[in-house]
Amino acid sequence: MLGLRKIIHIDMDAFYASVEQRDHPELRGKAIAVGWDSDRGVLTTASYEARKYGVGSAMSSVIAKKKCPHLIFIPPNFEKYRKISQEIRAIFYTYTNLVEPLSLDEAFLDVTHNKKGNPSATLIAKEIREAIKKETGLTASAGISINKFLAKIASDINKPNGQKTIPPENVGAFIDGLDVKKFFGVGKVTCQKMYRLGIFTGKDLKSKSLGFLTQHFGKTGQHYYDIARGMDMSPVKAHRIPKSLSAESTFSKNLSSEVYMLKHLQDIAEAVQKRLQKNHLAGKTVTLKIKYSDFNIQTRSKTLTDYIASKELILDTVKELLYQERLRESVRLLGIAVSNFNNQEVKEELPEKKKEIYMQLELEF
């Protein structure tokens, strides 16, 4: 049992619609859709009250209104959803750095070794859902198992506001009984093809040889062969946090006056500011990159005592760097980078003692 992973898939319930119902109490308990009420509009999602009428994500507004004439349309507010998404992710990071967001409202977490030293992924999922509820007022569902494939399927089972664990000892039986249409990664077309081949459940899939599956599904055959056996080794790929954010500009005419350069640097600093904002980052180190007309590149850096993210503060430091030394010759490109961010991940070192505990409790899910 050593080497077994503990993976959680978290998925917010009717995400955009729940946010709108949270912020507009008069919409609670009502059939609402987030999207534009226009001939060409498409819904992003719908509240559970609307889903009873068959209204759902990616449906055209026209069809949705036919199915549910009293449907209330709410225009989307992506800035708000992104902010809440950040809040949820911040909760995930208190448990593990191995977080792989799939979209604004769902993510995989590998909690095999977690920051709280909690051996039970089931309890962690419960804690996370409670924390999400407390901090955002919204509900989430979770799936817990030994790999991403199973965790993803599991999070749908007790949705909304529920969770489901498929512990290692139940994996075989669970997959055997699973309709292939529920398999993550099996779309409508593949599903129909499987049905035609007499493959309706995981058990049917497992009964087919690798040769048979590759003959009918090409390279993906191997994948189906593996997942029918509960094997999905794909790691939780942590969202890579950039080490620096930058912007640069090449000039149509080489510049030799610092005054002209400063004008361009304002725009470049603004672009850097935007990137920092988008990533919710601030940095301590500012670097000015100068490419001369002979294509030689020079960089000048300064590290500050405080984290900065605004155009003005970036520009102050850039000015200092620009005047720090005389320019050798005319300049064809200028760039600004900000690095040394305020989010540097804490390295996860597992003390020896804790490792032992993990091994003992390996079966605890």
Q: How many residues bind ligand TTP (CB under 6 A)?
A: 15
Minimum distance of ligand TTP from residue 138's CB (angstroms) = 10
Among 49, 100, 106, 232, binds ligand TTP (CB under 6 A): 106
Q: How far apart are CA 60 and CA 149, in angstroms?
A: 30
Nearest to 138 by CA among 23, 7, 280: 23
Residue 297 to residue 239: CA distance in whole angstroms: 31
Binding of ligand TTP by 58 (CB under 6 A)? yes
Q: Confirm or reject binding of residue 154 to Mg ion (CB under 5 A).
A: no
Query: Does residue 103 touch ligand TTP according to CB under 6 A?
Result: yes
Distances from the Cα of 91 to the Cα of 38, 81, 127, 129, angstroms? 37, 16, 10, 10
User: If binding is defined by CB under 5 A, does position 11 make contact with Mg ion?
Assistant: yes
Q: Which does 190 bind (CB under 5 to 8 A by kind): Mg ion, ligand TTP, none?
A: none
d(CA 113, CA 96): 8
Q: Which residues pair with 308 in a beta bridge?
A: 283
- Rounded to a whole number of angstroms, the minimum distance from the CB of residue 74 to ligand TTP is 12
44 binding partner (options ligand TTP, Mg ion, none; Cβ < 5 to 8 Å by kind): ligand TTP
Site for Mg ion in 15-54 (CB under 5 A): 15
- Please tell me the count of residues contacting Mg ion according to CB under 5 A: 4
Residue closer to ligand TTP (CB basis): 14 or 88: 14
Rounded to whole angstroms, the Cα distance separating 318 from 337 reads 10
Please say whether the beta carbons of 21 and 47 come within 8 A. yes
Q: Please, which of residues 13-52 interact with ligand TTP by CB under 6 A?
A: 13-16, 44-45
Pull the structure tokens for residue 186.
Answer: 């099996």
Using CB under 6 A as the binding rule, the residues of this chain from 235 to 254 that contact ligand TTP are none
Q: For ligand TTP, give the closer residue by CB, 152 or 159.
A: 159
Distance CA 253, CA 28 (A): 59
**For residues 177 and 199, what is the distance between their CA atoms, to the nearest angstrom?**
12
Q: Considering only residues 121 through 180, tell me which ones interact with ligand TTP, judged by CB under 6 A.
A: 159-160
Calpha distance 353→108 (Å, rounded): 27
Q: SS3 for 193?
A: helix
Single-letter code of the amino acid located at 181: K
Among 49, 105, 110, 232, binds Mg ion (CB under 5 A): 105
Q: Is 106 a catalytic residue?
A: yes
Q: How far is the CB of 15 from ligand TTP (least distance, A)?
A: 3
Q: Are the CB atoms for 179 and 200 separated by under 8 Å? A: yes
Interacting residue ranges for Mg ion, rule: CB under 5 A: 11-12, 15, 105
Interacting residue ranges for ligand TTP, rule: CB under 6 A: 11-16, 44-45, 57-58, 103, 105-106, 159-160
Active site residues: 106
